[in-house]
Chains A and B, each alone.
Chain A
Amino acid sequence: MSTQHSRKANEFVKDTAVVDRHDATFWAVRSRRDTMAHEVPEWEDLREAASRIKKHTVTHLADYLEKFAANAGRNGVQVHWAKDADEYNAIVLEILRAHDVRKVVKSKSMLTEECGLNDSLIAHGIDVVETDLGERILQLLGVPPSHIVMPAIHITREQVLECFRAHGIIEKEGRKAADSMNGDLDKLVAEADPTFLTRCARYHLRDNFMTADCGMTGANFGIAATGEVVVCTNEGNADMSTSIPPLHIVSMGIEKLIPDYESMAVFQRLLARNGTGQPTTVYTSHFRRPRPGSEMHIILVDNGRSDILGNEDHWQTLKCMRCGACMNTCPVYRRSGGYSYSYFIPGPIGINLGMLRDSDKHYGNCSACSLCCSCDNVCPVKVDLSTQIYKWRQQLDSMHHADPMKKTMSEGMKVMFDHPGLYTAALRMAPLANHMPSWLTGIAMGPWCEAHDMPRFAKKSFHQLWKSGLDEK
């Protein structure tokens, strides 16, 4: 069997050291997440609450959007609506032109990536500076992210050093960076010391914060009751981006809305614990009004979301808060890397979002799943990720994408899922491996088995979980 995903994955797994490091890194993040989960006795209550708040909000989205926009307007914020990527890019450009903006500092936003904003702005002569360290490194290297929370995870320190050197950052900021650590410049450069490189980036970005005409952020949450947006970062780059330039533009997918502060508490507790295994992000910043003497704009972007809402099998992807936990745990993602997926969001959620975006382009990703269900078990908002992937596979036939091999695979899966006893036995003996891509079977079964190790906190058995996942439909 050969799909676009498996072909690209084959390239990635050629370098076993890289694969092992990638795998180990994300397994460590997944383990930290488990530790965090065990520290909170009401963990499962939180997940259930988060899932239901999102279900409630997205099925009342029009009402909440109206409320949000009205409140934001009262706060002195200018609200815009964009139905698709083109409209969104045009609105941003118009705002920037009206303010004669030449340089934008940007904090990480998956939505701008989705809409191709940077290319659009650069094409119009606007300087765009990503300020999340990982994103900045990728921007300077000219490569896309490979993970939604840890975008530059696949880049080595030596590559970062080389890149900073090529852009004159070491030459310009190296001395200051070394002094700030009371360190020896030559030694720090020779070691490609991560703290040193981070400091170089700090001073390099500081210059940009000082001289930018506009700060752009995404929004992790929009709060309907108050009309404010919440942005969560560890680096403080969203706060730096918005507390200095005289213009702040927020780009927000319409599914980011939640009702109020009471709901916000639920998501705040889940986001970082799930995403990176920390009890919180360093900054949870609430933006309600423009700074005195400056402007704040919020652009609400649909770009296919209202269609997803009408999709019986896949509307629950709208619950996603982009924490990244499902990719961290996914044995296929961990061993094949972000670039093996054709959509810019990789992993379990990316498979589904890619199919919803353009199934002709992204159906190959559907093979990047062994249906182990680990993603379902970690997702803080209980998106039924593997059920959805299974359904896509079923549909590939009618979409004329099923090749005979894949069809056998899907049918094999169906037989197993229809016969729970068989499936249990199958898991024990792991003949499922027979149906797995060669590059996965060629590796040790370690991570595969780990992924089957049900979290200790699960109150339901695997089968109950699986069943309730189906019953929710």
Chain B
Amino acid sequence: MSRLRGNVRETYDMPDLSFAKLVYPDRVGAFIKTATTAAGASVIEMQEGDDINELIRRAYPNAKTIASNVPGVKADLNPDDVAKPQDLDGTDVSVVAGSVGCAENACIWIPQTMKQRAVCFICEYLVIILDRDNIVSNMHEAYSRIEMPELGFGAFISGPSKTADIEQALVYGAQSFCGVTIILR
């Protein structure tokens, strides 16, 4: 510490960060575009009278095991109740709630609101439920809005896990989920 202090020659002030930032007139439209192109996710816009469980079924008709603790979502496994995270392996679809979406890069903030956060990553496919009203234009706005949950973990997620490590060929489904469906309500 003293070496760190001693080695500083000149100090610099924190810059002013109030420069103009990218904003979209149609945030929801921009979000859907980025999510379905750059991020590689699917988006379902929930309509009046739609049933959430039916939407999930329709998106993943072959899913055998659904894991979630989101109220109102029918699930076979609950990440609050499993004895250990390994018990969630083999989950076909996990359903989680996002609290803030960002139009510029399709990031969605997923706060850990379940005991085993492995549920967010271990599944083959991830369904994220997001309120249209919670979509902002850019990451500056997103970071001013997000809240860290009591459990002390949260992640911005933008589309399915991917890699281009083998000859730069883009492959979805590296170590985590292979596909993402965002349900906008």
Residues of A whose CB lies within 8 Å of any CB of B are: 25, 28, 40-42, 45, 48-49, 52-53, 55-56, 59-62, 65-66, 75-76, 131-134, 137, 150-153, 155-157, 160, 194-195, 197-199, 201-202, 205-206, 209-210, 226, 228, 234-237, 239-240, 243-244, 254, 259, 261-266, 268-269, 276, 278-292, 306-307, 309-310, 312, 315
Give the distance in Å from the alpha carbon of A41 to the alpha carbon of B24 in the complex. Answer: 12
> A280 contacts which of B12, B158, B174 (Cβ < 8 Å)?
B158
Q: List 18 A-B contacts (CB under 8 A).
A: A40-B104, A49-B19, A52-B14, A56-B12, A61-B8, A160-B166, A206-B89, A235-B175, A239-B155, A240-B122, A262-B17, A279-B158, A281-B158, A288-B148, A289-B152, A291-B151, A307-B3, A307-B7
B138 touching A285 by the CB < 8 A rule?
A: no
Point out the residues of chain A lying under 8 angstroms from B177, CB to CB: 236
Instruction: Output the nearest chain B residue to A54 by Cβ-Cβ distance.
Output: B12
Output the nearest chain A residue to B16 by Cβ-Cβ distance. Answer: A49
How many interface residues does chain B have, given as a range? 35 or more
CA–CA, A151 to B164, complex, Å? 11
Compute the total of residue contacts between A and B using a CB distance below 8 Å. Answer: 230
What residues of chain B lie closer than 8 Å to A263, measured between beta carbons? 17
Give complex CA distance A151, B165 in Å: 8
Check if A195 sits within 8 Å of B171, measured CB to CB: yes
The answer to whether B163 touches A284, judged by C-beta atoms less than 8 angstroms apart, is: no
Q: Identify 20 new A-B residue pairs, CB closer than 8 A, beyond the known A268-B143, A284-B156.
A: A25-B168, A40-B104, A49-B17, A53-B14, A61-B4, A194-B166, A194-B167, A228-B148, A235-B175, A261-B143, A261-B144, A266-B17, A269-B105, A279-B38, A280-B106, A282-B162, A286-B153, A309-B8, A310-B7, A310-B9
- Does A134 contact B165, Cβ atoms closer than 8 Å? yes
Residues of B that sit less than 8 Å from A by CB: 1, 3-15, 17, 19-22, 34, 38-39, 85-86, 89, 104-107, 115-118, 120-122, 138-140, 142-144, 146, 148, 151-169, 171, 173-177
Whether B20 lies near A288 (C-beta < 8 A) is no
Bound form: Cα–Cα A158–B160 in Å: 26
B85 to chain A, nearest CB (A): 5
Write out the residue numbers on chain A whose beta carbons fall within 8 Å of the beta carbon of B118: 240, 243-244
- Within 8 Å CB of A206, what residues of B? 89, 175
- Contact check, B174 vs A237: say whether CB atoms are below 8 A apart: yes
Q: Which of A61, A198, A205, A237 has the most CB atoms of chain B within a 10 A radius of its CB?
A: A198
Among candidates B107, B120, B142, B163, residue contacting A234 with C-beta atoms closer than 8 Å: B163
CA distance A206 to B121 in the complex (A): 11
Q: Please name all residues of chain A whose beta carbon is closer than 8 Å to the beta carbon of B116 when the two chains form the complex.
A: 243
Q: Which of A42, A236, A287 interacts with B174 by CB under 8 Å?
A: A236
Complex partner residue of B175 from A62, A194, A237, CB under 8 angstroms: A237
**Cβ A236 vs Cβ B161 within 8 A:** yes
Q: Are B152 and A244 closer than 8 Å at their CB atoms?
A: no
Assembly CA distance A173 to B56 (angstroms): 29
Residue of B10, B12, B143, B165 touching A133 (CB-CB under 8 A): B165
For B140, list chain A residues within 8 Å (CB): 262, 265-266
Q: How far is the CB of B6 from chain A (nearest CB, A)?
A: 7
In the complex with contacts A259-B14, A280-B156, A235-B176 CB distance below 8 A? yes
Contacts A55-B12, A269-B139, A279-B105; A236 near B121 (Cβ below 8 A): yes
For B174, list chain A residues within 8 Å (CB): 133, 198, 201-202, 234-237
Residues of A within 8 A of B39 (CB): 279-280, 282
Q: Which of A42, A60, A226, A309 is in CB contact (< 8 Å) with B19?
A: A42
Residues from chain B with Cβ under 8 Å of A269 in the complex: 104-105, 138-139
Shortest CB distance B29–A (Å): 16
Q: Which residues of A contact B22 (CB under 8 A)?
A: 40-42
CB distance from A342 to the nearest CB of B (A): 24
Cα–Cα, bound, A83→B92 (Å): 45
